[in-house]
Each structure stands twice: as C-alpha cells, then as structure tokens.
Chains A and B, each alone.
Chain A
Amino acid sequence: MKGVPLASSGEHQWCEEWSQRGGVRRNQRRLYRGLLFWLALVLSYFLSHAVPPSTVAQAQSQIFVNQASAQFVGPNGPATTVSNQTEVSTLTPPGPPPGPELPLLQITKTADRAAAEPGDVAIYRLLVTNLSTTQPATPLTITDQLPLGLLYVPNSVEATPQQPTQVVATDSSLTLTFASLGPGESVSVAYGVLLTPDAVRGNGRNIAQASAPGFTPVTAAYQMTIRPGILADCGTILGRVFVDKNFDGQQQPGEAGVPNAVIFMDDGNRILTDPDGLFSLANVLPGYRVGTLDLYSLPGYTLAPNLYRIEENSASRFVRLSPGGLGRMNFAVTPTFGEEQS
C-alpha cells in the first residue's frame, strides 16, 4: 500500500522546459544567421552597383533571380514588392601559393533536413566531382564519420552513376570505395541514417571525406540540429534517510526510515522523505548533483558515522547523474546530543 515511494518534491526541475528553452535559443540563432546572410547579400548588391560593373566583372559574376516577394497594405491600398536580383562573384578565393598543385576533388554534402529528432531517418547526399581535367581518381574512397547516436541504415547506399565496389559500415562510420572517377566526372551517393536517443548527447555534425591517390583529400561537414523530441535526458535521484544501527551507511532490516526529513539539492529544491524515509526526485538535469540533509528537520538526530567508508561521513552526497540515469543519495542518521551549541 505504501510500497510506492512517494516523490514529495516541492518544485521539480523541469528538464523538459529547459531544453525547450534551449531550442528557442537555437532557433533565434538560426534567425540571426539568416539575417546576416541577407545582410551580406544586400551589401554585395550595393558594392556591385557602387562602381560601374566592368565586363570582366560581369563575366565573372553570376546573377541570381530571387523568388521572394512581399505583400502589404500601404497608404495606397495593397501593394506587392518583388525582390531584387542578386549578383554574386564567382571568382575563386585566393588559394595557397602556387606550387606543384595536386589535382582537386570536390565534395558537397547535404541532407534532406536541417533538424531531426530521435527516431527519425535522415538521408545524406554526397556529390563528389573530380575537378582534374586529365587525371582520373583511381580508386576513390569516400569516408563518412557519423556523430554520436546516428546509425547507418544497412544497405541504404544508393550511388549514381556508378556503384561502389566496396561498402564498409561500422557503428560510427561508413566507407565507400569506387573503382575510378574520371576527369570531370561526378558521383552522387545517398544513404540513410537512423537517429537513436543517444543522438541528443552528440553534436549532430557529420564530416565526409573524399580521397584518392594523387589527389588532395577534401572534406565537407554538415550540421544537423538534434532536438530531443519526445525523449528527455533527465535522470532520477533516489534516496533514503534512516537510523543506522551498525554504522555502515546501508539500510538493513531493523533500521527504520525517518519521515519528513528534508534534503536540499544544489539548485535549492527541497525534498521531503515519505513516512518510510524514502524519497525520489524525477526529471533531474544530468550532470553533477549535490544533496545535503537538513539536520534541522530531524531534531534529535545527526549524521551517523560511517565506520566502513570515510567518504560517507560527509554531510552531503555527490552523484554524477548520466542522462536518463539513476543516482542514489542515502543518509544514515543516529541519535544526537550537544546539538547547535553556540
């Protein structure tokens, strides 16, 4: 009847809420990043129009036709504005000093989504191009390092136009080998990854690398935002307060639990033990957690000495709570004397 430990907690640590707040923050960051992008575009627009564009410049620029338009109700009724055109220079950035240049590969990585939750299957696409005009890449090796918690979906590799000669998949990486990639040719690879609950602990950053003998290896990264989804990484803390008779810090038969003892957590949460001296605290943020027994709540008792483990003579308990994990905080007490002498 009373076997179920009551979680008598004044305020819970709402892990859920925190991570949602974190999500909001991330979204805001994305918004800022978008604004910056647009600012850059506008700047380049002004720059390109500030000086009369030369034909050379025009030849080395690319015009983007923007699709965006905006509608609003102005003083003269509804109006529609269309976006300007964007001109972006395609000049190659200044590279390393000229030397015995190796032929280049190019790798591009995308995915079918920018954010994912545990349980989702995301599809990554890789495009590898041999930029060399003469030299084939023989053989071509593509390695993809998956972040924590992402699993390659077996047999999901699809490559065009040619097929890999070898596919090696481990838990955290995928290695594809192609026989040869001719000059100017491209190969496109798509494969699926499954997001496990561990993914929320990873960074979601995925790095693909293409290499071939005689070519400079190239890498491409893709950052996917991992949201916790319906999963939380909050842990649980259990504990008990009891009268220790043999001073070993463990509760055995004949060692009664103390009701209504108060335990304070590091964040100020105040927890009461139930009539059996037990308490449990759900939804605790993972990490290092400290709890201490408020001796003022159990007049007549103080912490019992632990004759076996020096560590447990401390007035507080320190647990390392792993995400979704379980921590214990047991407090042994014994009748006291000489309390609170000034």
Chain B
Amino acid sequence: MNQRWWIGYSVFALGLPAVGLAIAPALGQSALAAYSMRVTSGDDGPVQPDQGLTLREAIELANGTLAPEQLSEAEQALVQPLPAGQGSRIGFDLPVGQTTIALVDLLPEIVAPELVIDGTTQAGYDGSATYDPKFPAAPAVSLTVAEGREVARGLTIAADGVTVRGLSLYGFRTSDRATKTTPPSDIFVSALAPPVDSSPLSPALELFRLDQADLAPRGVVIEQNWLGLPPDGEFPAVPSAFGVTVFNAVETTIRNNRIQNHDGSAIITGFRADGLQVSENAIIGNGLAGMPDAIRLEGTIASSAITDNLICANDGSGIYLFKPEGATEISGNAIQYNGRRFERAAVYLMGSDHELSDNFIGYQPGPGVAVTAYPLSHRNQIRGNRYAELDGLAIDLNTQGNTEVQDFQKGDGPNPPRNSHHRRRETGNAAINAPQFDAYSFVSGAAEVTLTGTADPGSEIDLYRVAEPGFPYSPLTEPLGTVTASPEGTFSASLALPPGTRVSAIASDPEWGTSEPAAVAAVLAADGTQPDLPAIPVEPPSCNPPTPPPAPVDPPPPLEPLRLEIPRNIHFALDRSNISTESAGVLDQIAAALLEYPVLTVELHGHTDPRASVAYNLALSERRALAARDYLIRKGVPMERMRIVPFGEAQRRSEGSGRVEYARDRRVEFIFTDVRGLDIIFLNQEADLQLE
C-alpha cells in the first residue's frame, strides 16, 4: 500500500511541470500569456514546426504548454500576443475545401480561462443564413475523428469562461474494449475530467477530485454549434455518443445549438451542474442507442434553467430529472414527438421546487409531465403549459409510493382523492387533490357558463379548454383562466365559452405543487344538447427548421385515402438483425413513400420466431426494428415520424414450425398511419424471405 502511494507520488512529481501549469490557471493564480491565433491547417498530429497552425497547437499555446518559439516562422506569424488580462482567441482561416479537422487523438484539455474558439471567423460562414435562433447557420468548420481512429471527446473544457462558437462536432465515441469507458461526448465540461478508461496510460488518479466546488469551471459558453451532425446536415457515418456532458461545472450556458443524432442524451449532467442554462437549442433525434432522454439532469442542478428549446423526436423523455439536488426551471420549450423508443413521460420530474411553465408538450406515447412518488417530490409548479396528443394524463402524480418500472417511465395514471394524510408522504406533489367539477356537463347561460366544483381549500384552479376527444381525461389544450378555491374548498368560474366546449382544470398550491387534471366536463347549449365543434386540423409531425419568411403556401393536401403500393414488412435471417440486400430494396421503397407523403407516420414492429427465450427475443426484435429505423434515418426519413415497438415472439405471422413459417416470423412490420386519420392500403411481400 505504501509502495503504491509512493508510485503515485512519483508519477505526480514527474508530471508536475505539466500538471502545475494545468492547475494554476484553474485556480486563477497565474496569468497565461494570451494570443490571438488563426488555425490554418486542418491536419492533426504531433505538435511540430511546419507550415500551418493546427488546432492542437493553438490550444497548447493557449494552455501555456507550448511556446511560440517552438514553432516555425510561418506559424509564429499566425500568433499575435494580446494584452494581459484578456483570454486567448482561436480563429480559423482554413483553406477552402479543407475545413474539416479530423482528430487522431484527444485534444489537450482546455485549461486557459476565457479562451474563445470561434468557428464563425472562418471564411464562408454566413451567420445570417438562419431564421430561428434555435437553428443556427451551418458551421463552416467541423471537428471530427479521422477515419479508423477513435477519439472519446471533442473538446474537454476545464477552465472558466471558455467559449466554443460556430463549430460542427461529430463522431466522438469509443468502441468496446477490455473495460468500459467513461461517457464520450462532443464537448465535455469538467474540472479535471476523468480519464477515458482505466488503461495504464491514463493520468494519475490522485488528481480526479469532484468535491472541490471551487475547481469546477465557471461560465463556460457553448453557442451556435452543430453537435452530432456535419455541416451538410446529413446523418454522420459515425454518430457521437453524447452531445454536451456537463460533468462538473457551474453556470454553463448552452444556447442556440443544434444537437442531433446522438446515441445517448443531447445534454447530460454528471456530478455538478449548478446554474446550467440551456436555451434556444434544437435538440432532435437523440438517444438512438443509449440513454434515451434528450436532456437528462443528474447530480446538483440548483438554479438551472431549460428555456425556449425545441426538443423533438428523441427516443425517451424530452427532459428527465433523475434524483437531482436543487431545482430547475423549464419554460417556453416545445417538447414533442419524443418517446420514439421508450414510452416515457415527456417530462419526468424527481425532486422538489421545479417550475414548468409556458411549455408545449405533445405527441408523446406517455403522459405529459410525471412527478415521482419516491424520492419525495413536492412543490413542483406545472402551470400555463399546453398539451396535445398524449397517451396518459397531462400531469401524472405517482401515488401510494409506486416505484415499479412503469412508474419511473409512464407514471401510474389518475389518482384517487386523498383519503389519508399519509398519502401526502407517498405521492408526488404531496397528493394535492385534482379539482372535481360538480357535474360532467354544465348548461350554458345566455352569455356565460358557470362552472362549479370542489378542490383543495385555498388552491388556485387553472381552467383549461380541451380540444381533443377522450373521456374522462384528455390533454389540456389551452389555459382559460384562474380562480381561487374558497376556504370551504369550492370554486366557481363564469366564462364565455361556446356550447360544445369541453373543459378541465388543475389545482396549484404554493405549499404542495400542482395537481393532476380534473375529469373533463362539457358545456351544453341552453337546450341541453352538445353541438360538435369543428375538428382541429392535424399537422404532420415535424421537427424541421422554420422555412424562410416568404414561405410558399402549400395547397391543402387532398383528403382522400392514399392508394399506396408499398410493402409493409421485411424479413431477417435466423438470429440476425442486419438488413439484407433484398430487404434494403424494400426499405428503399418505404423510404421513398415516406418522403413523398409527409403526412405518413410509421410504427416499426419488430418480431422474432418463437425459438429462444422471451427476453432474448424481445431484445432481438428491438434490434431488428432499430436496424430498420437506422436504415430509414440514413435514407433521410425524419425521426419524428417513426416509432419503435418491439414485440418479441408474442405475435407470430404463421402458426407452423417449419423453416418457411419461422422465416415469415422473423420480420419487422411497418404500420403506416396517416396523421389525418385516413386509411392506407398496403401489401405484404415475401421477396426477401431468408430461410435458415
């Protein structure tokens, strides 16, 4: 033991010159020389004096681990000293056509405070080519991994005030090896980041400390980047693992980025992420083969905020708070078409004092907002949001200490009224009762209708209009107004509502939080009839960036059944989930149809033959559906229009036990739906049947 300690110490001592330089800036004790640098070479490799300045050399210069004198004359000309007190700046002046920097190894950790890495300085960047701050203009400079190499992280930031702007980062992941690796990311923000794996080459671990809050980098800004996709917007050949990992940093700002196509979460926090600001990002199609939630908050997240983002077509929840410490504010986001692979709540809350306001939450195969029963989660204010097309309640408070698997994904459905004070201790938001209307229908008066009901005394009742059919619960479409319950626990509201309107309500109490919605009540005409209101037009699912302002007005699509001659299934070989050449041809037809008709959505049902165990087959069927989706994604089909549903061996195609029957069972079925609610005609095909 003693010996190990001495070895560690000697490693520490040998590494001291570099480590000392690395630590000092983080502590703010010594000022580094600041330079303004222009990266002119997209090559990567060892630092050496040559013709062009590489990004690696620029970062080492800023870190102070490389002196300008160690470079060539040509390179020194690209490095201009800046007055003391400023941070270094890295700009780009890459030759036309060589704007991709392909890394062969990890870049050095950025330890220079206030360093700015600015991809918008590259010639050819057009910052005005955007109409929505959520969708920044395509970066001109991209940072990726050289072919055949493996780099776990794009940029590793360990210093205060570092800004990363206008870059495209993609392709950062690790492959399986003797041990697992720490989560790879496009951008990893942490003081003294953990080594990638535990190989003997990793740095000495004595330095890896999480508990010292003052070492955590403060005020890092990540803006106007494209993370996980190249500047052409195509699905990358090698998808990144995670987008931004805020592992151990405070007051990090992530704004105006497009974060797409990650195997894991777009933004994930680790140990400490106090003061995290995530605003105006487009977070689309992440969680494809890993942590499925778009934004996953763990660790300490005090005074963090997630505002005005588009969170669309991710595989799990839009935002999942997993046992965090501290409260977050979630407002102004559009959280839609998530849950492509896991039927989870659009927003899953654990912890207390979170605020959800002014969000649009919709098109989710689960509830809108779920609040856990355990660990105790109280005083979550969920007000002013709009909901649409949910498979569950708009707000679902888990009750009676429910902690089963489903409860941590989809919630547990409507709660009974509180019948004991113990319910407060085992229910999300302390079991605040949902309001209850006095009747399922109210007859409208001359101008107004008076809605009456009961709720917890003193709570504020937000009344909602409900546009979708569905009884007794239906998504809360739009807020109508707020009344306060009397001390006796009754409320009454007079509103001018057209007959046929359906209403619901939620109750909020600052002491407890927001309740589940009330059962829907209808407003009847004076003669007691309920007229049908005109149906709301259905929009095709879309996560697309907004079109330029003079948008061409599409003619309304004809409302007639589509007559599509498209196949609806593909087959697989025994125990395989790869796409055969014949199946690829079938998938090409399906992709063409999906691209032609934007109103089509599709569920990918994976199936297997009945051999092997149920659990194995369930996993195999999911792999098959994922493989088919992966192919379609690469053909350009938007992710928000596809959902994965694995069935395992539960639904066989055939009944026999011969080779042909089993081959028919091994399939993925494509269940097309037209979002306008019309039927489609499709064909079964067996051209790609693969006998064992």
Nearest-CB distance from B276 to chain A (Å)? 15
Is B615's CB under 8 angstroms from A337's CB? no
A43-51, A61-69, A307-315 - interface stretch? A307-315
The contact size tier of chain B is: 35 or more
Is A335's CB under 8 angstroms from B271's CB? no
Which residues in A have their C-beta under 8 angstroms from that of B9? none
CB within 8 Å for A275 and B403 given contacts A305-B179, A337-B183, A338-B289: yes
A residues 263-308 touching B (CB-CB < 8 Å): 274-275, 296-297, 299-308
A261 and B106 CA atoms in complex are apart in Å by: 34
Nearest-CB distance from A72 to chain B (Å)? 56
A275 and B408 CA atoms in complex are apart in Å by: 10
The reply on A158 being an interface residue by CB < 8 A is: no
The reply on B290 being an interface residue by CB < 8 A is: yes
Which residues in A have their C-beta under 8 angstroms from that of B178? 313
A77 and B342 CA atoms in complex are apart in Å by: 80
Which residues in A have their C-beta under 8 angstroms from that of B264? 300, 335-337
Is A337's CB under 8 angstroms from B262's CB? yes
Cβ 8 A contact of A307, one of B202, B300, B342, B627: B202
A15-23, A176-184, A225-233, A241-249 - interface stretch? A241-249
Is B403's CB under 8 angstroms from A307's CB? no
Which residues on A are within 8 Å of B, measured CB to CB? 1-2, 243, 245-247, 254, 256-257, 259-260, 274-275, 296-297, 299-308, 310, 313, 334-342
Smallest CB-CB A-B distances: 6 pairs: A337-B290, A337-B263, A256-B323, A337-B241, A300-B291, A342-B577
A341 and B576 CA atoms in complex are apart in Å by: 11
CB within 8 Å for A260 and B403 given contacts A305-B197, A337-B184: yes
Which residues in B have their C-beta under 8 angstroms from that of A334? 180, 182-183
Which residues in A have their C-beta under 8 angstroms from that of B296? 300, 335
Which residues on B are within 8 Å of A, measured CB to CB? 173, 178-184, 194-195, 197-198, 202, 205, 208, 210, 241-242, 262-265, 268, 270-272, 287, 289-293, 296, 298-300, 316, 322-323, 325, 342, 374-375, 403-405, 408, 425, 576-578, 615, 619, 622-623, 626-627
CB<8 Å pairs between A and B, sample of 29: A243-B298, A243-B322, A245-B271, A247-B194, A254-B210, A254-B300, A256-B322, A260-B404, A260-B405, A275-B375, A296-B619, A300-B287, A300-B291, A300-B316, A306-B179, A307-B194, A307-B198, A307-B205, A308-B198, A313-B180, A335-B291, A336-B264, A336-B291, A337-B183, A337-B184, A337-B241, A337-B290, A340-B619, A340-B623
Nearest-CB distance from B104 to chain A (Å)? 21
Which residues in B have their C-beta under 8 angstroms from that of A274? 403
The residue in chain B whose Cβ has the minimal distance to the Cβ of A303 is: B180
Nearest-CB distance from A300 to chain B (Å)? 4
A313 and B323 CA atoms in complex are apart in Å by: 25
Nearest-CB distance from A116 to chain B (Å)? 46
Is A300's CB under 8 angstroms from B289's CB? no
Which residues in A have their C-beta under 8 angstroms from that of B241? 337-338
Is B623's CB under 8 angstroms from A342's CB? yes
CB within 8 Å for A310 and B198 given contacts A338-B241, A342-B576: yes
Which residues in B have their C-beta under 8 angstroms from that of A313? 178-180, 198
Which residues in B have their C-beta under 8 angstroms from that of A300? 264, 287, 290-293, 296, 316
The residue in chain A whose Cβ has the minimal distance to the Cβ of B292 is: A300
Which residues in B have their C-beta under 8 angstroms from that of A305? 179-182, 197-198
Is A296's CB under 8 angstroms from B181's CB? no
Is B290's CB under 8 angstroms from A254's CB? no
